[in-house]
Amino acid sequence: MTAARAIIHVDMDAFYAAIEQRDNPQWRGRPLVVGELGPRSVVSTASYEARPFGVRSAMPTLTAKRLCPEAIFVPVRMSRYQEVSAQVFEVFAEVTPQIEGLSLDEAFLDVTGSLRLFGGQVEAIGRFIKAQIRARTALNASVGMAHNKLLAKLASELSKPDGLLRITQDSVQSILDPLPVGRLWTIGKVAEAGLHRLGIRTVRDLREADARRLAQAMGNQAVHWQRLARGLDDRPVEAGEEKSVSAETTFETDLDTLDQALAWLARLAERVGERVRAHGLQGRTVTVKLRKPPFETHTRQVTLVEPSDVTAVILDAGRTLLRRWWQGETTPRLRLLGIGLSSFGELPQSSLFDNAAGRAQDHVADRINRKFGGGSLVRGAVLKARKPRDDESS
């Protein structure tokens, strides 16, 4: 018998509006609408404070203004939302490479292969994702967990806002049966109205309906709908190809010495190396990200002779890039530092032997850190790294 999958659906709560309230503290706790007032403008997102007034996405903003006269209307800042979305997806990539992004603020994750790293508990992965997103972005995510995509998405919807819910195989029908039939995936307003005419109003009604009568009235979709009513969904998580693995951190106090920067680079390179090996990847391009205060960002890249997954190789390349940048600055200071690996490809057979010592050391460290927690075994250079601010990412 095939083992059950572990699927997670993550949906950020009122994503655009939450970012605006985070970036503008004076708007927190007040009804806020992302979308400019105008005859052709629509609501992109409404904060939870605006929703009790009936304000919804895709509604004309003039209608939203009529429903909620006290609402604050702000323009869409897509580049800002994309920036924060990248931080969220970095968290996903630390858990699994099997990520199906649905939008900037929503994704499915197949974490079946990651369970052993979290003690076999999908709830531990869900809590990790929520905590890391909160720490790095100060935003809330709702996380649904189940053995398929249908139920994982339903779990996140039912637990909003700031939710964490798992639907187990034993609890499927007790959760599904009372729901309105329109809550099921692919059952739109027209189909829902047709089912209502047949006296089918809940998921239980649909599940228990006579299959032949249902098919005669509703067509070929009826079989599919009854599968959904039983909580059955075989769709895979359709992951895009992993393009890069990176780690970065923002410092509460700017780094002003090269020794501090090198120590932090070592810590970040260890995280990148561990994730690359966990995903079975080897990369050729090492990128270092450097941000000067207040918000001037630079990147430096180097291409390795051949793909590698060895932490020492990644770190050595990163050190070279960091030193060159540091020496070229008149008064070098760092607000943020990051390192990443990309351009993934096959690792030549010769390299397996050339880096045997480094690879063996890495695998020992990986096993110890998985068993006793990240950071249990680190390079000596890492010990000079001081504590970052709360939004550290890895």
Asked whether residue 144 falls in the same domain as residue 176, the answer is no
Residues 377 and 312: their CA atoms lie apart, in Å, by 15
Residue 90 lies in a domain: yes
Asked whether residue 329 falls in the same domain as residue 285, the answer is yes
Q: Say if residues 144 and 157 touch (Cβ distance below 8 Å).
A: yes
The domain boundary, picked from 202, 229, 256, lies at 229
DSSP characters over 274-323? HHHHHTT--EEEEEEEEEETTTEEEEEEEEEEEEE--HHHHHHHHHHHHH
Residue 192 lies in a domain: yes
Residue 64 lies in a domain: yes
Residues of the chain with pLDDT under 50: 1, 349-353, 359, 369-379, 382-383, 385-394
Rounded to two decimals, the pTM is 0.63
Domain total of the chain = 3
Task: Output the domain CATH number for residue 177.
Answer: 1.10.150.20
Contacting residues for 305 by C-beta, under 8 A, at least 6 apart:
none
Residue 146 lies in a domain: yes
Asked whether residue 162 falls in the same domain as residue 176, the answer is no
Its sign, for the CA torsion 112, 114, 119, 123, is negative
Count of residues making up the chain:
394
What pLDDT is recorded for position 61?
A: 94
Contacting residues for 119 by C-beta, under 8 A, at least 6 apart:
none
* Residue 11 marked as a ligand binder: yes
Residue 235 lies in a domain: no
Asked whether residue 184 falls in the same domain as residue 135, the answer is no
The domain boundary, picked from 167, 186, 214, lies at 167
Asked whether residue 218 falls in the same domain as residue 341, the answer is no
What pLDDT is recorded for position 392?
A: 42
Asked whether residue 128 falls in the same domain as residue 222, the answer is no
Residue 25 lies in a domain: yes
Asked whether residue 150 falls in the same domain as residue 176, the answer is no
Helices (H) and strands (E) counted in the chain, each on its own, are 14, 12
What pLDDT is recorded for position 258?
A: 95
Asked whether residue 147 falls in the same domain as residue 205, the answer is no
What pLDDT is recorded for position 374?
A: 42
Residues 304 and 286: their CA atoms lie apart, in Å, by 8
Residue 389 lies in a domain: no
From residue 316, give the alpha-carbon distance in Å to each of 147, 287, 339, 359. Answer: 42, 12, 11, 15
Task: Output the domain CATH number for residue 109.
Answer: 3.30.70.270
Cα first-last separation, the chain: 36
Q: Which two tokens stand for residue 273?
A: 């190396």
Residue 394 lies in a domain: no
Asked whether residue 126 falls in the same domain as residue 211, the answer is no
Residues 380 and 189: their CA atoms lie apart, in Å, by 61
* Residue 233 marked as a ligand binder: no
Asked whether residue 130 falls in the same domain as residue 180, the answer is no
Task: Output the domain CATH number for residue 332.
Answer: 3.30.1490.100
Residues 182 and 200: their CA atoms lie apart, in Å, by 10
Asked whether residue 59 falls in the same domain as residue 23, the answer is yes
Mean pLDDT of the chain: 86
Tens digits of residue pLDDT in 250-300: 787 889 999 999 999 999 999 898 878 866 788 999 999 999 887 788 899
| Domain hosting residue 325, numbered range | 244-384
Asked whether residue 8 falls in the same domain as residue 128, the answer is yes
Mind telling me the catalytic residues?
106
The domain boundary, picked from 146, 167, 188, lies at 167
Tens digits of residue pLDDT in 209-239: 999 999 999 988 899 999 999 999 999 998 8
